Amino acid sequence: MIKLKTLLPEDINNTNIDLPANEFELSSLSFDTVINNFPADYKDIQFNRMQPDGKEGPYYSDSVAFPNANDSSTKIGDLKSFEDWKKEALRKFGNDTKILLDPDAVWFDKVKVKSDEFDTQKDAADTAKASMLKQWGTTT
């Protein structure tokens, strides 16, 4: 990737620049922003249910998965599931957490969490899984 600072004005039109996916502060990220950043998703309404704003709202079956630090993911099918995931992520990782939204990525990489604490917890979960798999492999 070329850093924008290193480009001269005459290079701008002659260079392919890989721009990062859309990056947002978790604290200001909204469900509407998520929907708007994934134009190929959030089209198929599976059912309606009560949302945190007190109104009935759609739950989308073609939703995007948000990562959890334990290496699982959460389908964000509606405002309620988004608000629940966001509240937990803010509690665990803080207000300075960044979220990358990439509609062109494979399904499990469409959303990334940029946080040192998230990375630390994910590494710990990965290490625990590897240890258990190694233990199972030696006892059977």
Percent of the chain at pLDDT above 70?
A: 84
| Residue whose structure tokens are 């990334």 | 112
Residue 127 belongs to some domain of the structure? no
Residue 32 lies in a domain: yes
111 within domain boundaries? yes
Catalogue the E-assigned strands of the chain.
Answer: 22-25, 45-50, 56-60, 64-67, 73-76, 98-101, 111-114
Residue 34 pLDDT > 90, yes or no? yes
In contact, 58 and 78? CB cutoff 8 Å: yes
**pLDDT classification of 54: cutoffs 50, 70, 90:** very high
Q: How many domains does the chain have?
A: 1
Structural domain that includes position 81: 21-115
Structural domain contains residue 137 = no
DSSP annotation of 20: P
Q: ∠86-117-132 over CA atoms, to 5°?
A: 100
Q: Is 135 contained in some domain? A: no
What is the rounded CA–CA span in Å between residue 114 and residue 105? 16
Residue 123 forms part of a structural domain? no
Q: Is residue 107 part of a domain?
A: yes
Taking the model in full, what pTM does it have? 0.78
